[in-house]
Copies of this chain bind each other. A is one copy, B any other.
């Protein structure tokens, strides 16, 4: 199949597929007489593997490691487990940070309820006072 069909089948942009090839994640396929890429079933599978991992928030470098494991099935899978654990911890930490962020934003947002001149706006007042080093509701 050609790149456009592969893209359609995986829900991936054509440019992204070429990018994965350039990055060494997806094997370069053979070319037809016109110089077009001709993909086989294994490319579809590889690309779906990559997209699946990406949908789990993994980085390309990590996916490269996982692809290696797939191709060397007798390696100890400890690294796979550690990789996933690291990813889980990363997501948990980001969620915690975002929770704090959301609380801060809501507190700041509550400073202004009515439409008014920005000089009277509680949000702007709070941001200005915080810039002067005073306490703000959003950071305690």
Contacts and interface: CB of A to CB of B under 8 A. Distances in A.
| Dominant secondary structure of chain A at its interface with chain B | helix
Contacts of A57: 101, 105
A40 interface: no
Contacts of A85: 109
A84 B104 CA distance: 11
A56 B131 CA distance: 13
A36 interface: no
Given A76-B116, A76-B118, A84 B98 contact: no
A108 B104 CA distance: 33
In this complex, the member of A48, A56, A76 whose beta carbon has the largest number of chain B beta carbons within 10 angstroms is A56
